[in-house]
Structure 1
Amino acid sequence: MRFLRLKEVIELTGLSRSTIYKYIEDGLFPRSVSLGGRAVAWVEQEVHDWMLARIEERDQEKPAFSDRAVA
């Protein structure tokens, strides 16, 4: 198990700091873990699972376009 600091979470997800905290507030992103004092981190597997869930949601959506070429 590994902890990710905010900088790593931002790099991994492509989300901004404010979006990460907004998603946490809305219950849409894994909560951070207190490391003591003002230091927090995220459980790496929880962030990866969140990313995989976004991919699964995308793959379950109906395609907006056809893959067939127009003749």
Structure 2
Amino acid sequence: MTHQTFKPANSFETHSPQATDINARRASHPAADPSAILIRMPELIAIVGLARPTIYKLMRQADSEFPLPVKLSGSKARGAPVAWVLDEVQSWVRARISARNKVAA
């Protein structure tokens, strides 16, 4: 018999074991400024609901207004660590919702 673990509906499900629950991060730093919180790719995927290749495609499109990453090191090598500003990601999501509502009206 196999055990299955119950996961609450508000936890973010990703394929990466390094993924953290963004709500848990916020709860542990309630006074943290969202414009100063950086999130890595697994959290970004969980928040926007897009696959990694789609995210990078949007970043290359000037008209998408998708947030650009912040470099975390001085490395110029491909695969150098980057992160996204949580507040910018949330603003992009809100803009997408607002655009949907304008089309529906």
Pair 1:55-2:90 in alignment: no
Q: Which amino acid aligns with 2:83?
A: A
The list of structure 1 runs, each at least 4 consecutive aligned residues, that deviate by more than 6 angstroms after superposition, is none
Unaligned runs of 5+ in 2: 1-35
TM-score, normalised with respect to structure 1 = 0.83
Alignment of 1:1-71 (within 5 A): 1-27=36-62, 28=64, 29-36=66-73, 37=75, 38-62=80-104
Q: Which amino acid aligns with 1:20?
A: I
Number of aligned residue pairs: give it: 63
Identity among equivalent positions (%) equals 40
1:50-70 superposed Cα distances (whole Å, 9 cap, x missing partner): 00000000010135xxxxxxx
Cα RMSD, aligned residues only: 1.1
**Higher fraction of strand:** 1
TM-score, normalised with respect to structure 2 = 0.57
SS of corresponding position for 2:82:
strand
Unaligned runs of 5+ in 1: 64-71
SS of corresponding position for 1:41:
strand
Q: Which amino acid aligns with 2:97?
A: I
